[in-house]
Structure 1
Amino acid sequence: MPKQVIVQPSIDAIEIIDTPIPVPKDNEIVIKVAVAGSNPKDWKHPLWKNWAHNSGDDIAGIVHSVGKDVFEFKPGDRVAALHPAGKKNGSYAEYSVAPDWTTFHIPQHVTFQEAATIPTAALTAALALYADMKLPPPHDAADLATGNKIPIVIYGVTSAVGAFGAKLARLSGLYPIIGIAGRAGDYAQTLVDYVIDYRQGEDVVIARVEEVLKKEGFSGKASHVFDAISEGGTLEATLRFLDANGGIVSTVLPPSHFAMDKENFKYPPGVTAINSAVPLVHSTHKDFGYLWSRYLGRLLADGRLKPHPFEVISGGLHGVLTGLQKLKDGKASATKYVYNVEDTDNSPPTSGVSSSGQPHSKPHPLATFPFPQ
């Protein structure tokens, strides 16, 4: 029987259980997973911390079956997809499920490993830039070609979300793109116009951002900030260089959970602050998810968009624990951890991995949540 991974909240163990192949509902697609990808949110969000479940959402593989209302996909198609966060049949499995509107075809020149780096990160970046910050998308960037510059600062630019934010910002013609990074400075140089090393300290980061903006003809305060980290002090740092009178900031994690002083952190009245929560493409932003999933496929096909660097963690599904622990320990630097599912049966379980023939616990009451605003 096919298998899937149940991740324990402590991230010190996983359970591999037998699971029947899912049966797709109306707009669902069942995908035979070739490669699954990990994201920090697979363990980080507070709602996960008391719930054992299959937390994987990045899928790349072959369509196995489709629901009665699916017309754009058929069995045998090569696809990538975003699984709805918090619902059953996640990507850490031999068979996973995604709605048709967050599934897209992948061109032959894109590998399954490359494709698995894309759905969560690229859709999060697109949501932040275009749905939330209302920046001009690549297909509507004519005004910027006439010389009107829009700057953007991306904190965590070499994370998968930050890197896709920079790539999309480049396609949109934004300038200057200022990236704040650390160990992966060389990779950051390929993405942005200016790189600032956060390891130099917060005061230096603030001064350098203001220096670059003034050099490029702006006031010294940032009008658009994309915080692709949103914890460990980045929320507070970005607030220091954000324009308090009309600036807009998008965060990938909610400040109410991840600010240093959760009770008292707040943005000035003149700032528009949005938590760009990608689960919204499965609820209030379905049309956005549909349009951008299709567009990602097109950008990949013609080479305008490149996947994120990746590392294959050995052991197939047995390796999920290793990948999540490496993410939790901060070992990822400009890389996405992915798992070749077909390697599962050929690899012995690692420490913290158990196997069971029984399904895990009943559905959690928060299974249909969006991230809190």
Structure 2
Amino acid sequence: MKAVIIEDVGRSGVKEIPELTLRPGYIKVKTVAVAINSTDFHHTAGAGPIGGILGCDFSGVVEEVDKDCKSSVKKGDKVYGACHCANSNNPLSGSFAEIVLVREGHLAKIPEHLSFEETATLGVGITSVGQSLYMTLKLPLPIEPTNHPFWILIYGGSGATGSLAIQFAKLSGLKVVTTASPNNFEFVKSLGADAVFDYHDPDCARNIRECTHNSLQYILDTISVESSFKICADSFPAQAEEGVELMLVTLLPADEFPRKDVNVQVVLAYTTFGEAFSKFGTDFPAIEEHYKFGVMFWKMAGELLAEGKFKPHPAIIMEGGLQGVPAGIAKVSHGTISAAKLVYRVAETPDSPSTKSNDDHELRGPVIHSW
């Protein structure tokens, strides 16, 4: 089968490899569409092992279900889900391949009103939203919304995780303030954001404090870089009220966060698979509680999507199938993709390797060396 693997540090390409055989606790899926995330860039740049299959997001058709799986999916079902990108402990675990193995509980059936391409964008976003808003911040679940709305800041609302986080936070009954570029203001408002501010504006944090009446207690920073940390830190009240804990969740290490009075938690979506792995120079143990939560949240999210309670992040359909993915990873690393995910139809992968120059595969952007 064809797969996009890490050929060397900073370089990926399509290779022919043996088709994967089913593992205990897994479901075998023939992919139809795949989508690119920032994590694919980080793994190509050095976090993943040479020879590892890249990719997390996918949609496809179930081919085989392990006999011990309790999942309701069966052969022939159309599904979408999440894989573990270039896992050092299981290098062939990624989604950018013609056949993928999916951990039980981390996929869902595609509703009739949605396509393979649309649902291919959901894997990482659903997992990250579940871990950040509900497992870590312990906000009211979207099926049990609060009757007493309070504010949450979703920093980076027009991104793939941010757009889902806005919708889930609204389902939970919260008031959402978010950040975006002005050209994406209407997009995030269409998702339910109550207020949006331009993160380029020097007064962004002050505007957020005024909007939330200096009462902000919860922030999800989906960007998680030094500039976003500064705005998030200044968006909280200068001093928390007695008995109130200020909480921030980030998706990347937050060693540079400028305030010590904020409870900062970093989530890593890969812990949801419930298996030990090594990444970014750190050994992560298997955490059964994370796995159980992930299974619960994926089931809930699948039901909510089927009911039309939220919608996937917009997809840009790219050419070339898997052959186009390395250039797409480079585009994502350049930071030029806004308010959409790049999606590739696997069936469009050429039979022969491309002879074109790889000049458009050059990666840019910060590289994560430690966690």
Q: Secondary structure at the match of 1:184?
A: helix
Q: Secondary structure at the match of 1:179?
A: strand
Asked if the contact 2:85–2:93 (Cα under 8 Å) also holds between the matched residues in 1, the reply is no
Q: Secondary structure at the match of 1:186?
A: helix
Alignment-derived partner of residue 282 in structure 2? none
CA deviation map 1:136-184 (0-9, x unaligned): 011112xx33xx2210011100000011100000111101x10101142
Q: Secondary structure at the match of 2:5?
A: strand
| 1:83 equivalent in alignment to 2:83 | yes
1:352 corresponds, among 358, 365, 371, to 358
CA change 1:372–1:97 in 2 (3 A) is: farther
Identity of aligned residues (%): 28
Q: Secondary structure at the match of 1:61?
A: strand
CA change 1:234–1:224 in 2 (3 A) is: same
Asked if the contact 2:34–2:346 (Cα under 8 Å) also holds between the matched residues in 1, the reply is yes
Q: CA deviation at 1:14?
A: 2.4
CA change 1:186–1:250 in 2 (3 A) is: same
Alignment-derived partner of residue 280 in structure 2? none
After TM superposition, the score normalised by the length of structure 1 is 0.84
Alignment-derived partner of residue 13 in structure 2? 15
Q: CA deviation at 1:221?
A: 4.5
After TM superposition, the score normalised by the length of structure 2 is 0.84
| 1:227 equivalent in alignment to 2:217 | no
Q: Distance in 1 between matches of 2:12 and 2:348?
A: 17
Q: CA deviation at 1:18?
A: 1.3
2:102 corresponds, among 98, 103, 119, to 98
Q: Distance in 2 between matches of 1:45 and 1:266?
A: 27
Q: CA deviation at 1:119?
A: 1.2
Q: Does 1 or 2 have the higher relative contact order (CA < 8 Å, sep 6+)?
A: 1
Matches within 5 A, 1:206-285: 206-214=205-213, 220-243=214-237, 244-245=239-240, 246-256=245-255, 259=256, 265=257, 267-268=259-260, 270-283=261-274, 284=287, 285=290
Q: Secondary structure at the match of 1:152?
A: strand
Matches within 5 A, 1:1-373: 2-8=1-7, 10-11=9-10, 13-44=11-42, 48-49=46-47, 51-52=49-50, 53-72=52-71, 73-87=73-87, 88-141=92-145, 144-145=146-147, 148-175=148-175, 177-182=176-181, 183-191=183-191, 192-201=193-202, 204-214=203-213, 220-243=214-237, 244-245=239-240, 246-256=245-255, 259=256, 265=257, 267-268=259-260, 270-283=261-274, 284=287, 285-345=290-350, 349=354, 350-352=356-358
Asked if the contact 1:9–1:43 (Cα under 8 Å) also holds between the matched residues in 2, the reply is no
Q: How many residues align?
A: 334
Asked if the contact 1:33–1:93 (Cα under 8 Å) also holds between the matched residues in 2, the reply is yes
Gaps of 5+ in 1: 215-219, 260-264, 354-370
Q: CA deviation at 1:345?
A: 2.1
What is the identity, as a one-letter code, of the residue corresponding to 1:82? A
Q: Distance in 2 between matches of 1:230 and 1:324?
A: 19
Q: Distance in 2 between matches of 1:247 and 1:151?
A: 12
Q: Distance in 1 between matches of 2:103 and 2:48?
A: 26
Q: CA deviation at 1:352?
A: 2.3
Q: Distance in 1 between matches of 2:235 and 2:139?
A: 19
What is the identity, as a one-letter code, of the residue corresponding to 1:134? K
Asked if the contact 1:180–1:195 (Cα under 8 Å) also holds between the matched residues in 2, the reply is yes
CA deviation map 1:286-332 (0-9, x unaligned): 11111111112111111001111010111000110121111111111
Asked if the contact 2:13–2:323 (Cα under 8 Å) also holds between the matched residues in 1, the reply is no
Alignment-derived partner of residue 278 in structure 2? none
Q: CA deviation at 1:46?
A: 9.5
Q: CA deviation at 1:249?
A: 0.5
CA change 1:130–1:335 in 2 (3 A) is: same
Gaps of 5+ in 2: 275-286, 360-368
Task: Give the CA RMSD over aligned residues.
Answer: 2.1
Q: Distance in 2 between matches of 1:89 and 1:50?
A: 11
